[in-house]
Amino acid sequence: SADTPKKVLEKISAGFKLGYHKAAKMAEISLWAQTWAVSDLSDDEMRAVHLKPYHDIQKAVDDALAQKGADAKIIILPFGSMTVPKA
């Protein structure tokens, strides 16, 4: 864990190991986007990896729309880091 997404990237580049690519990608995304998680993990665990914690998907969607506006674009990834984008 690190205080900021930038520090996560610095720690990873200093001693990369297989599997760190997921943490690196999440930290990179957190530099330009808000990342929220709906999970059974504790709020502290989610905050430690720079995620805004939620335990109810409807509450997360409602808060996102309230913050970003009714025409906001929201991406829901039900399988998180196992999602592979298709161009």
pLDDT tens for residues 29-58? 888 888 889 999 999 999 988 899 999 999
DSSP designation for 38: E
**Which residues are 37's β-sheet partners?**
53
DSSP string of 7-23?
HHHHHHHHS--TTHHHH
How far lies 67's CA from each of 33, 50, 51, 73, in Å? 13, 18, 16, 12
Q: What is the pTM of this model?
A: 0.64
Query: Domain segments of the chain: what residues?
Result: 1-33, 34-77
d(CA 33, CA 35): 6
